[in-house]
Amino acid sequence: LTAWLAGRAPGVFASILATVLIEYLFIPAHGLTFATEGATNAARLGAFLFVSLLLSRLVSQRNFARDTTQAKDEMLARASHELRGPLNAITTWAALLEHGIAPEKQRQAAQVIRSNAKMTARVAEDLIDVSRIALGEMRFVREHVDLSTLVINCVASRAASAREAGIELESALTPVVGVEGDPVRLSQVVMNLVGNAIQYTPSGGHVRVTLWQSGAQVVLAVTDTGRGVDAADVERMFKPFVRLGDGGALGVGLAIARHIVHAHGGSIHAASAGQDLGTTVTVAIPATGMRTSFPVHRRWFHIAGRPPVLPSVAH
């Protein structure tokens, strides 16, 4: 058809090439949507589409920068709030020690100062890690890691905080091979996941930590009976500067954990049936093929006065 038009009716053919009919759909912020149409040439249409695409990308980049800046500002405000409390406590008790207090109070003062110093250090470490990730400067050592022992130690470290919160903390581990990675950073992942689970679980709830081997991967799962997460927010949990709900100091723990897991060639994801239905965060890391001598291990950190229950483990 184009060849026929070019040979028999060159004027009509040139007109077709030069003129394009465009239908516009206007969607105003307020009022009714309406359609209209207009005619232009191909060059103008191309320029119009190019400018529209460019503007769309600029608007998207502006919105992303605005949202990121707002999230950073909120995180810095939370960091200031989280630091103010422990620093005030340290200053107050240090002043009391300086002016002299009863001997029986000195031990309490030392404990308060030590506890609040640890809280301050945790906030500072999170801020430093976020900065390292943003700059691509987080470094890792590489060595064989007995993940079973690492998980046991991390769970034991969180047992006291779970007991204080009235939460039953359970660990169920089956024999697994080792992994290659950074033991300090992997411990940070486990501590963050278990700490988050405890923080978002109400008193009387349960947190379960399981470890098993699935093919060429070692899999860790942390399950809680806490507030749960809406399906739309599951992926947002792992984004930096995003915090769901009013829990947590800075809301960067999962983002840091994801970066560490990905650096080890692994994957991390969360699943939740919805609000108040609990959450499971699962981490999978490639195994090295070196089996540890660790036996089947089940442990239940329970509230005083309540009998422990050993659940079955099936994977």
Calpha distance 138→132 (Å, rounded): 5
Q: Which fold has domain 72-135?
A: Helix Hairpins (1.10.287)
For position 315, what pLDDT does the model report? 38
**What is the spatial distance between Cα 124 and Cα 252, in angstroms, rounded to a whole number?**
12
Note the CATH number of domain 143-301.
3.30.565.10
| The two three-digit tokens of residue 277, written as one number | 């239905």
d(CA 282, CA 315): 13
- pLDDT score of 299: 46
Kindly list the domain boundaries of the chain, sorted by start residue: 2-61, 72-135, 143-301
Other Cβ atoms less than 10 A from the Cβ of 93: the count is: 20
Both tokens assigned to 232: 């739309």
Assess contact for 244 and 229: CB atoms under 8 A.
Answer: yes
pLDDT recorded at residue 289: 54
pTM of the model: 0.64
Q: What is the mean pLDDT of each run of 10 residues along the chain (315 residues)?
A: 53 54 60 61 64 76 71 68 78 85 83 83 81 84 92 92 93 88 94 91 94 93 90 78 60 87 94 87 84 44 38 37
Compute CA 193 distance to the chain's CA centroid, rounded to the nearest angstrom.
Answer: 9
Using alpha carbons only, how large is the chain's radius of gyration in Å?
Answer: 29
Q: CA-CA distance, 149 to 175, in Å (whole number)?
A: 11
Tokens of 291: 């089996």
Query: How far is Cα 151 from Cα 169, in angstroms, rounded to an integer?
Result: 13
The Cβ of residue 252 has, within 10 Å, a number of other Cβ atoms equal to 23
Are residues 141 and 186 in contact, defined by beta-carbon separation less than 8 angstroms?
Answer: no
